[in-house]
Amino acid sequence: MVGMRGKVTGRVGPGLVGEIMVLVRGGSEAFLAYPVNPGESFDIGQLVTVVEYQAPRTVYVQATFG
């Protein structure tokens, strides 16, 4: 999971439990998402990169560059 890219489907930000969709095993799967840097936020449609994964369905994300 770490290093994979996903698309925000539920706003990610301080005090929020966001959601991202990641292409996994030939399909898309939803994960609960939090910003790795507490002050950041990501809007719906933005691409993010998974920095940390906590089973079964929680990820910490940062902005995707490039």
Residue 47 placed within a domain: no
Q: pLDDT tens, 19-59?
A: 999 999 899 999 999 999 989 999 999 999 999 999 999 99
Bridge-based pairing of strands 47-54 and 5-10 is antiparallel
Residue 29 placed within a domain: yes
Identify which of 16, 51, 45 has the alpha carbon closest to the alpha carbon of residue 61.
51
Give the pLDDT score at 59: 98
Domain hosting residue 25, numbered range? 1-35+55-66
Residues 6+ apart with CB under 8 A from 54: 60
Residue 2 placed within a domain: yes
Residue 23 Cα distances to 5, 27, 29, 37, angstroms: 8, 5, 6, 23
pTM recorded for the entire structure: 0.93
Residue 46 placed within a domain: no
Total domains present in the chain: 1
Q: Which residue has the tokens 């079964």?
A: 56
